[in-house]
Amino acid sequence: MLSRDTSTIIEWRSVSKRFGATIALDGVDLEVRPGEVVALLGANGAGKSTLAKIASGVLRPDSGAVVLEGQPATLTSPRAAREAGVAVVHQRTDQLGAPGLDVAHNLVLDQLCDGGHGWLARPSRIRARAAAMAAEIGLDLDLSADFSSLGPARRQLVAIARAVAADAKLLLLDEPTASLSAKEVATLFSLIDRLRSRGVGVLYISHRMADIGRIADRFVVLRNGRIAGEQVRPFDFKLAIRQMIGRDVETTAEPRPRGAPLARFEGLRLTPGSAPFDLELAAGEIVAVVGGLGAGKSRLLRTLYGLEPVVGGIITLGGAPWRPKNPAEAVANGVFLAGEDRWATSLMPAATPASDIAGTIALPHRKAWFPLGWVDAARERKAALGAIETLRIRCNGPADSLEKLSGGNQQKVVIGRWRAEPSRLLLLDEPFQGVDIGARRDLVESLRASRAEGATLVAVSDVEEALECADRVAVLRDHTIVALHEVDRGGVDAILNALSAIEDESTAEVSH
Amino acid sequence: MSAGSEAGAAREGRRPAAAILGRALRRHALFIVLALLVALFQSREPAFLSFNNLFSVLQSVAVVALLGVGVTVTLAVDGFDLSVGSIAAFSLMLSSYAMVVLGLGATTTVALALAAGALIGLVNGLLIVALRIPDLLATLGMMFLLGGLQLIPTGGRSITTGVALPDGAIARGAFDPNFLLIGRYKLWGLVPLPVVLVAIVALATWFLMERTRWGRVFYAVGGNETAAHYAGAPTKAYRVSAYVISGVFGALGGVFIAARIGRGDVFAGASLLLDSVAAALIGFAVLDRGHANVLGTVAGAIFVGVLLNGLTMLNVPYYTQDFVKGAVLVGALALTFGIGARR
């Protein structure tokens, strides 16, 4: 190996960044060498996106240094980063190009914006330049297709081609495979391989072990803003998962006696093609459902809430068959769902009447609380004050608009809504999305306290969150449960084994 | 986030008087301008503040306010009923046809008109909910359809006793005197019946929208339909009922006009749509609400009515009216969306 000082593309030296009381990055050292693919692993809130933003010039570190090809550098803006050779492909693929322009124009967009083509860009020249760019990296795309007609995979390829044409030395990919099919992933990876052979360094942010096993030369695990582990091939993913989660997790759950059976799924099938599975939920129990994108976590919760039909099998709730037609029937029977992505499924824009904390909490309980029809303001205010106190919602009062609250406090309002009335089955879909660690602890504490009557089903993609809140963890794959274990010393091992087995399997699928 | 709002509070704390005054001005802007206008008109024309004139203003805006309230309900579900003016015109022609041609009585005629309004609203709602046609387009289509349909039975003629029908027959019926009373009766010889009825309907709708859980759901469907559905609301039923309400109010407005003018005038409903939509949009600015609301709509209709009445008294030419309405609307929208908008 060459000496470090001359051969790194980019190097971060003890970089730290804090937001208020939260330390996002705490003395991180990391470097990327030419032709190297470095993966950055970490749970939600570990500091991955902060590091990415520092790399792309969006944020500046509080302390520490960025060294570009041996020279200290300050990246003051995304433009400065781009000119220094750092290209970023963001996760949100709708922001990767200009809809309304075709692929050719999108490929030469940087030059067009920089005025390199002069005022009147000749279509033939643009087309020729774009074709050359595409050929350079072996991109097989219809240059006349409109950007908005491209799927997420092709949008990423266009963005990468642009980055390469701008002579990028470092390519930063943020969760690039989050919405890609296996075939599209293979296309993306062969492109990354070609870039690697051209000496481009790649920083690859992901929490998918399968992708990392396929593409990375080395990976770094971030946890709570620090580097928790680093590996070169051959990778030990079980160790990596442990490093992502930390050691203290295994001791958080206390074994508790199982309550009376409350809900039972027998031969339940979520989709026509999926395998049936059984599951029994006990009163007072919290069961986490983990699994990757498309494993069927949301589908299971939505089925129980009357948003999706039961394809096969029987659900019983408190001994009686449960087949809700719609959410209204579910709510009336004490089955509550806090949907994924709170602004899409729970909250109203601030201009909507009664979109404040009190109104948000009251909306699903309106029939129970206002039986005669007229809104009892004192009643809903009381419920809001109760939620604010028990969940420690930081706000000025029940009349606060949700848009003024932090993500964690918004989520507390959503959870507070569903805890304002006793539930038989509480369904939480990704309840810790965009929630900081402090707020997450408050939420978990609230779920664990006062859970006597009902059962709780929590869908999360992050294992750490599952282990933190649940009594049992069910691992979902292809819309069926493939493993189910208690969260105790032996159980955590079994869960991690089941998860890494899935990751290994999908690694094998992708590489063949 | 919390640090930001604390900083914001500190900024407001530094200049509390100015901030509070600014907010109060914005909240009550329409009422303040209204008071100034009334004072101006009164100083120029002493008859302006007479009971007779005031009730004549209210009579002139009653139908616009009623239709505006219907539009408000559709705006609450994030829709828009462009057909409300045509529903009123259609109801006007239908009522006239029912009495003059079919010889029906007052009660049957009113029931028929309101049922037709409800049915048209239902069709609007189903076009939007079941066929997923965007609100504006569906109700635009309905607007044209009704505008044409009302001309067909009489071959484009206005309906009065003795009118010749397309098949050559002569209509022998007449307006039921009881029907005419709906538009012409004055309580205590002073207050026009339509004004009282519209006030009752508006008050009931205000209570529905502002004080009941059903109103909450109407607004929730408009704010975030998915979230409303997840919260257990039958969102499609609410969307359809908003158009049914708007249709019934439109039809009732048509009955009032028919009873007032006593003939099936083909052109009587021409400016209703724009006036009622303007009232609903001006209403956004009332009390700084920033969204469609019943009180604001009624206030908006009255505001425009007072302004036009005063200008007419001051001999400002009739043809400037649309310009004045437009200027008021633009000013109110600027107040809602531009000046001091924190949304």
What domains can be seen in chain B, in order of their start residue? 53-338 (1.10.3470)
> Could you list the residue range(s) of the whole structural domain that residue A382 is in?
348-421
Question: Is residue B249 pLDDT above 60, yes or no?
Answer: yes
Higher pLDDT, residue B112 or B321: B112
The Cα–Cα gap between B164 and B169 comes to 6
Residues A85 and A169 both lie in one domain: yes
Residues A145 and A284 both lie in one domain: no
A343 within some domain = no
A398 within some domain = yes
Q: Using 50, 70 and 90 to split pLDDT, how confident is the model at B48?
A: confident
A92 within some domain = yes
**What is the structure's pLDDT at A251?**
42
CB A11 within 8 A of CB A31: yes
| Partner residue opposite A354 with nearest CB, options B2, B214, B219 | B219
Q: Which of A391, A421, A451 is the last residue of a domain?
A: A421
**What is the structure's pLDDT at A44?**
64
Residues A14 and A120 both lie in one domain: yes
Instruction: Supply the mean pLDDT for chain B.
Output: 88
CB A464 within 8 A of CB A470: no
User: What would the mean pLDDT of B232-249 be, rounded to a whole number?
Assistant: 97
Residues in chain A within 8 Å Cβ distance of B212: 370, 373-375
A254 within some domain = no
> CB A352 to CB B212 under 8 A?
no
Residues A287 and A305 both lie in one domain: yes
User: What would the mean pLDDT of B116-129 be, rounded to a whole number?
Assistant: 97
Residues in chain A within 8 Å Cβ distance of B5: 404
**What is the structure's pLDDT at A47?**
81
Tens place of pLDDT per residue across chain A (512 aa): 444 445 888 888 999 988 766 678 899 999 999 999 999 887 766 788 788 888 888 888 898 888 888 888 888 888 888 888 888 887 666 667 777 788 888 888 777 766 555 555 677 878 888 888 888 777 777 888 888 888 777 788 888 888 777 778 899 888 777 666 667 778 888 888 888 888 889 999 876 777 888 889 999 998 888 888 888 888 887 788 777 766 545 445 566 667 788 999 999 999 998 899 999 999 889 999 988 777 889 999 999 999 999 999 999 998 899 999 999 999 999 999 999 888 889 999 988 999 999 999 999 999 999 999 999 999 999 999 999 999 988 888 999 999 888 778 899 999 999 999 999 999 999 998 877 667 788 888 888 876 667 899 999 877 778 888 888 899 998 899 988 888 876 677 777 777 766 655 554 444 43
CB A440 within 8 A of CB A466: no
Q: CB count, 10 Å around CB of B343?
A: 11
pLDDT tens-place string over residues B278-316? 999 999 888 778 889 999 999 999 998 998 888 888 888
The Cα–Cα gap between A383 and A359 comes to 10
Q: Which of A199, A220, A249 is the last residue of a domain?
A: A249
CB A197 within 8 A of CB A138: no
Residues A298 and A152 both lie in one domain: no
Residues A55 and A104 both lie in one domain: yes
Residues A265 and A313 both lie in one domain: yes
Q: Which of A210, A228, A249 is the last residue of a domain?
A: A249
The Cα–Cα gap between A3 and A162 comes to 31
Q: CB count, 10 Å around CB of A389?
A: 10
* HEC assignment per residue over A417-445: HHHCCCCCEEEEECCCCCCCHHHHHHHHH
| Partner residue opposite A375 with nearest CB, options B213, B220, B290 | B213
Length of chain B: 343
A340 within some domain = no
A341 within some domain = no
Residues A154 and A28 both lie in one domain: yes
Residues A89 and A236 both lie in one domain: yes
The Cα–Cα gap between A437 and B337 comes to 37
A319 within some domain = yes
A25 within some domain = yes
State which of A488-492, B2-6, B17-21, B134-138 shows the largest mean pLDDT.
B134-138
Residues A164 and A234 both lie in one domain: yes
> CB A355 to CB B223 under 8 A?
yes
| Partner residue opposite A349 with nearest CB, options B2, B223, B228 | B223
Residues A394 and A356 both lie in one domain: yes
Residues A245 and A264 both lie in one domain: no
Number of independent structural domains in chain A = 3
Chain B interface, best mutation among A305, A363, A426, A428, by max B CB count within 10 A: A363
Sign of CA dihedral B209, B210, B216, B219: positive
Question: Is residue B5 pLDDT above 50, yes or no?
Answer: no
Question: Is residue B6 pLDDT above 80, yes or no?
Answer: no
**What is the structure's pLDDT at B337?**
78
| Pick from B224, B243, B265, B278: nearest CA to B61 | B278
CB A290 within 8 A of CB A276: no
**For the domain that residue A324 is a member of, what is the CATH number?**
3.40.50.300
> CB B232 to CB A364 under 8 A?
yes
**What is the structure's pLDDT at B207?**
97
pLDDT tens-place string over residues B329-343? 888 888 777 655 444
**What is the structure's pLDDT at B339?**
59
